[in-house]
Amino acid sequence: MAAAFTQDAAVVFTALVEPGRGFARAVERNRALMAVVLSTLLSLLATGLILPRVDQEAVAADKLQPEMTQHEREMAVEAAVRLHRVKSWAVAGVGPVALAFLVTVGLWLGFKVAGARTGFKATFTVAAHALVPQAIHSLLSAPAAIAHAPVTPEQLPKLLPSNLTAVLPASLPPPALAAASALDLFTLWSLVLLGLGMARCSGASRVRSFAVVVILFLASVALLQIAPTGAPSGP
């Protein structure tokens, strides 16, 4: 068991720094557990470091009303902070495996439509390894949260200047900023890993594999990040 643990850890590390060789071994072994566990542990560690640095008043801002008494404000802040912590820990604990599953479904369907057959388990293995950089991104945000504490929930995604919004003016239209935020170094790292891993997994050419991955990525950005910013606000 110790030998298998060591080999799985080595495969994850190799997939991150030497994807060609790493994903060859990952697909051959077809084991995703180590990658999922690593992403989950990194996310939990990041959450443990960041949560104490979050501004409690900011967490409860939408719950506070001017007519509230001091006691009511304290109760509202306490309830909002408690809920925020529960949600944060839940996302850290379940988020990595849920994200890997959703990405797997998209990839499996996308490659099937593109005429490249691949097994669901093998696709999940590739996705789990390729998404480890997302957990690394979360962990690297922790030092920035500590340095700038207290931080608001809205500031958390911007603590690590790894996407284009770090160099663009904040006055740009929301859809443009949403698109720029998707161009993140860690996301690009994951996309490269997905393209290389799925080429190995499906037997498709790298050009075909990257085409499918990029199309799926652009579709998800348009649907989940850009479209909501352009939706009309309620009355």
List, for residues 147-156, the tens digit of each pLDDT value. Answer: 989 998 888 8
| CA separation for the pair 38, 27 (Å, rounded) | 18
In a domain, 29, yes or no: yes
Higher pLDDT residue, 222 or 232? 222
- Distances in Å between the Cα of 64 and the Cα atoms of 58, 133, 148 are 10, 37, 24
Place of tokens 């084991």: 31
Whether 234 shows a pLDDT value over 50: the answer reads no
CB of 175 closer than 8 Å to CB of 226: yes
Domain that holds residue 99: 2-50+94-230
In a domain, 137, yes or no: yes
pLDDT at residue 230 in the model = 66
Q: What is the 3-state secondary structure (H, E, C) of 81-116?
A: HHHHHHHHHHHHHHHHHHHHHHHHHHHHHHHHHCCC
In a domain, 21, yes or no: yes
For the chain, what is the domain count? 1
In a domain, 132, yes or no: yes
In a domain, 67, yes or no: no
Taking each helix axis as running N to C, give the angle between helix 70-113 and helix 206-221, from 0 to 180 degrees, rounded to the nearest 10. Answer: 150
In a domain, 55, yes or no: no
In a domain, 77, yes or no: no
In a domain, 167, yes or no: yes
Report pTM. 0.89
CB of 194 closer than 8 Å to CB of 213: yes
Largest CA distance in the chain: 65
pLDDT in tens, 196-205: 999 999 999 9
Percent of the chain with pLDDT over 70: 97
